[in-house]
Amino acid sequence: MEDKLQKFLGKEVVIDTSTSYLYIGTLTEFGKEYFLLREVDVHDTSQGTSTKERYILDSKKYTLKTNRKEVLVFREKVVSISLFEDVLTF
């Protein structure tokens, strides 16, 4: 698993969690228990009407709203990780 994560290092990623939080930022480091992101857009979908998918698509179409310099995301909460550039808009 760790070797598969290497391709994400230094790139903008989308981290979806089992919570209402979604993270979009540059993956700078990861360990057994965490992902470290920089220049991050942290979005809580419980605070609005937008779904996670809609928020990701809008961020891709328009602009990324960076609101944190650095965020540590605990791996136990992560459902998926993908490259932001791989998000398909329609």
Q: State what percent of residues in the chain have pLDDT above 70.
A: 99
More confident residue, 4 or 26: 26
The reply to whether 31 falls in a domain is yes
Q: Given pLDDT bands bounded at 50, 70 and 90, which one contains residue 85?
A: very high
CA 50/CA 8 separation, integer angstroms: 26
Integer Cα distance of 45 and 26 in angstroms:
20
Tell me the whole-structure pTM to 2 decimals. Answer: 0.92
Which two three-digit tokens encode residue 65? 């709203």
Q: What is the number of structural domains in the chain?
A: 1
pLDDT tens digit string along 41-58? Answer: 999 999 888 899 999 999
The answer to the question of residue 90 being in a domain is no
Mean pLDDT of 60-86: 95
CATH of the domain at 72: 2.30.30.100
pLDDT of 77 above 90: yes
